[in-house]
Amino acid sequence: MYQAADARYDGMTYNRCGSSGLRLPAVSLGFWHNFGSTGVYETMRKLCFTAFDNGVTHFDLANNYGPEPGSAEENLGRIVKENFMPYRDELIISTKAGYEMWNGPYGNWGSRKYLLASLDQSLTRLGLPYVDIFYHHRMDPETPLEETMGALDQAVKSGKALYAGLSNYNGQKMQEAAAILRDLKCPFVINQNRYSIFDRTIENNGLKEAAVKEKKGLIAFSPLAQGTLTDRYLYGIPADSRVMTDGRFLKKDQLTEEKISQIRALNEMAGQRGEKLSQMALKWVMKDPVVTSVLIGASKPEQILDNLKMLDGAPLSEEELLKIDQICGIK
């Protein structure tokens, strides 16, 4: 039987989600990759143990994480049942709905029908009576925002979720959603969006500024830009890389000579700081107080321990932040 490390909270920083009472670890564990039906179950267990033993209390999922869709939730449900039930109240478990999950008109986007049915399915796969955060996974251009937010509100008020979240929303739509949820007295506390040195979308679509204004948290996914902000692509594309073995999220034509040159320059800068590129990249994401947590993925426990070292050492200086922008061609 797994027994968590006694000192698990000693080295982690916990940040408040906006003005809410909820705090998340500065580093959270994402289940987007490596927890599906193609993964090795014993490795999944070790990843969860390593994370929790080092203060990573937040496990983040979605209904469609796999492959196959739903399998990441099923695997975490088994891990929780077999190992984490004594620690359930120390964990933040989140899931989402918004992308296609099943055939027909009711398995996608943001209808009340889809969101509430999906949440029930997620809870069944997880073997839990509730999740801590339930997100709408993406903006729906056709369903009325009031309907989607009403579904999140019902999820919370039914006791099947403790908090509501939004993912992949821009600033304007998030503020509209926040106003509806505020009127409903629904505890909307956090936004989840892609953010990295190579992807500044939330700085350009108003989301980052709106999160400050609305006093909501922000958790960043893909902080290492699908692995490009590591030392794996310094000399081209390895044969066992995600580009060659998967290709869904990182494509070969994205790794241009210019991009590889930027990666090398950033890696050299990280080395001058006494850090790995991945650690500097994670530290960059967490440079602003509005960012509550950064989501990491991992295929082996050593990667988690390596990424947690981003909590050590000096923060990036203004001069270093400017140099990073210059390397990336941002004025």
- The per-residue pLDDT for range 11-47, each reduced to its tens digit, is 999 999 999 999 999 999 999 999 999 999 999 999 9
Strand ranges inside 236-284, DSSP E: none
Q: What is the mean pLDDT of residues 89-112?
A: 98
Is the pLDDT score of 262 beyond 50?
yes
Q: What is the mean pLDDT of residues 105-130?
A: 98
Span between the terminal Cα atoms of the chain, in Å: 54
Report yes or no on 8 lying in a domain: no
pLDDT, tens digit (0-9, with 9 covering 90-100), for 62-77: 999 999 999 999 999 9
* 131 phi, psi to nearest 5 deg: -110, 160
Alpha-carbon 29 to chain mean position:
7
pLDDT score for 149 = 99
Query: Which single residue is written with the structure tokens 């960043």?
Result: 220
3-state helix, strand, coil in the chain (%, to 5): 45, 15, 40
Report yes or no on 4 lying in a domain: no
Q: Provide CB contacts within 8 A for 272, sequence distance 6+.
A: none
Q: What is the CATH number of the domain that holds 208?
A: 3.20.20.100
Q: What is the mean pLDDT of residues 318-330?
A: 97
What span, in angstroms and rounded, lies between the C-alpha atoms of 127 and 125? 6
95: which strand partners? 134
What span, in angstroms and rounded, lies between the C-alpha atoms of 75 and 152? 25
Report yes or no on 287 lying in a domain: yes
Q: What is the mean pLDDT of the chain?
A: 95
pLDDT band at 249 (very low <50, low <70, confident <90, very high): low
Alpha-carbon 188 to chain mean position:
17
Is the pLDDT score of 125 beyond 70?
yes
Q: Packing angle between helix 41-53 and helix 71-79, nearest 10 degrees?
A: 60
Q: What is the mean pLDDT of residues 254-273?
A: 94
Q: What is the mean pLDDT of residues 305-314?
A: 97
Report yes or no on 2 lying in a domain: no
Report yes or no on 1 lying in a domain: no
Report yes or no on 323 lying in a domain: yes
Q: What is the mean pLDDT of residues 285-299?
A: 97
Q: Provide CB contacts within 8 A for 323, sequence distance 6+.
A: 269
pLDDT, tens digit (0-9, with 9 covering 90-100), for 37-59: 999 999 999 999 999 999 999 99
Strand pairing report for 14-16 and 23-25: antiparallel
Report yes or no on 310 lying in a domain: yes
Q: What is the mean pLDDT of residues 84-102?
A: 98
Query: Which single residue is written with the structure tokens 């509501």?
Result: 164
Domain range enclosing 147: 14-327
Report yes or no on 5 lying in a domain: no
Number of folded domains that form the chain: 1
What span, in angstroms and rounded, lies between the C-alpha atoms of 229 and 267? 8
- Residue 89 sits at the vertex; the CA angle it makes with 84 and 93, to the nearest 5 degrees, is 75
Looking at the chain, the number of H-run helices and the number of E-run strands are: 12, 10
What span, in angstroms and rounded, lies between the C-alpha atoms of 115 and 113? 6
